[in-house]
Amino acid sequence: MKTIQAIGEFGLIRQLQEKIPLAGDDCAVLPGGLLLTCDPVIEGIHFLPTTPARQVGWKAMARNLSDIAAMGGTPRYAVVSLGLRPATPVRWVRQLYTGLHAAAKKFGCEIVGGDTAHTRREQFVVVTLLGHAAKPVRRSGAKPGDIVFVTGKLGGSFASGKHLTFTPRLREGRQLARYAHAMMDISDGLASDLYRLVESSHVGFAIDSAKIPGKLPGALTDGEDFELLFTVAPRHAGKLRKKYSEIGRVIKKPVVLLDGQPLEAHGYDHFAQRR
């Protein structure tokens, strides 16, 4: 009998897509340009028991805001569900909500409800966020000949603490929606997330390691960067090079090449490893 650990996170997602054909983007896209996303943070995986509660709250909200950013959207409303140990100090929960509210308010989002539940072991925070995009940017639009960009430095997010304090690229996402053929946020590592675009757009990528903004191999595999990965037509690349890092181009063959050699889809997999 196959286990989830054996097939990994993305193998599981591929099987679930047989029943949920709309899955595969950073958000579900609903009629009228509505965007819906849901992302948890779990003690021991995304944060430590010693992590300040305010930072846990910020990260829980910001991860979901980053999904909206990757679609070129604007966040609107959020609900928050908590799994808490009964012995958790009330002060910890209040500080958690301080972080949740700070991230939501900064980007024009309102927390409108949620739920709480008892847990015996690891605590968790689940944010469900509703947003809107007039023309959502999906992962499926990359075209051969497109230029590939990322919005900022990659790698070392956990070591530096950036994974708790990062700024979701909402402003950039809305601006890039005018040009981007395909876009997603980098959460599991560039090497892994490039293959998510391969699966969705049925194209490949030729990446130049010297152009990746970050130290290898961490810039390829560390994950939790929450920068935007996007492709644009060559005619738009000139204006974007002044602000973002061009790292390669889109090719026809559905493979990822790094300096001309095949790159394995190494990155974070929730069921195959632990941070």
pLDDT digits over 149-202, tens only?
999 999 999 999 999 999 999 999 999 999 999 999 999 999 999 999 999 999
Report the share of the chain in percent with pLDDT over 70.
88
How big is the chain by its Cα radius of gyration, in Å?
18
Domain with CATH 3.30.1330.10 in the chain: 26-132
The answer, yes or no, to whether residue 222 has pLDDT greater than 90, is: yes
Q: What is the pLDDT of residue 271?
A: 46
Residues 34 and 258: their CA atoms lie apart, in Å, by 36
- Is the distance from CB of 183 to CB of 29 less than 8 angstroms? no
Find where tokens 């995009």 sit: 133
- Reduce the DSSP state of residue 14 to 3 states and report it: helix
| AA letter at 43 | E
Residues 162 and 65: their CA atoms lie apart, in Å, by 16
**To the nearest 5 percent, what fractions of the chain are helix, strand and coil?**
35, 25, 40
Residues 175 and 104: their CA atoms lie apart, in Å, by 20
Residues 153 and 222: their CA atoms lie apart, in Å, by 12
CATH class of 139-262: alpha beta
DSSP letter assigned to residue 167? P
State the CB neighbour count (10 A cutoff) for residue 90. Answer: 7
Question: What's the CATH fold of domain 26-132?
Answer: 60s Ribosomal Protein L30; Chain: A; (3.30.1330)
- Is the distance from CB of 243 to CB of 175 less than 8 angstroms? no
Among 17, 79, 18, 26, smallest CA distance to 186 is for 26
Residues 72 and 67: their CA atoms lie apart, in Å, by 9
pLDDT digits (tens, 9 = 90+) for 95-150: 999 999 999 999 999 999 999 999 999 999 999 999 999 999 999 999 999 999 99
Domain with CATH 3.90.650.10 in the chain: 139-262
pTM, entire model: 0.91
